[in-house]
Amino acid sequence: MTDNADAGLDSAALRPGDHVEVRGNEHLHYKAYVEDTLPQFNIAWVREQRTGERKMLFTNECRILRCES
């Protein structure tokens, strides 16, 4: 279940191990797990759940929603 009450998280609110949905233009791009963050630069590194690919996100350029277990 996704926490839809949240307008999107910035890198300071994310923690390693968080399960998130990454969206752009209100469409789901993918689900991922947070691996690391660099809040002073609005950066988060995530591992895409489906492919295992590691990606660097600029949190001010996409919408990140935390998923509940």
Is the pLDDT at 57 greater than 70? The verdict is yes
CATH class of 1-69: mainly beta
CA 60 to chain centre: 11
Is the pLDDT at 2 greater than 50? The verdict is no
Q: Convert the pLDDT of each residue in 12-47 to its tens digit.
A: 899 999 999 999 877 888 999 999 999 999 999 999
Phi and psi at 68, nearest 5°, equal -90, 145
Domain boundaries, the chain: 1-69
Taking each continuous run of H as one helix and of E as one strand, the counts in the chain are 0, 5
Query: What is residue 24's predicted lDDT score, i.e. its pLDDT?
Result: 84
**Mean pLDDT, residues 46-51 taken together:** 96
Instruction: Specify burial of residue 69 (Cβ count, 10 A radius: 0-12, 13-18, 19+).
Output: exposed
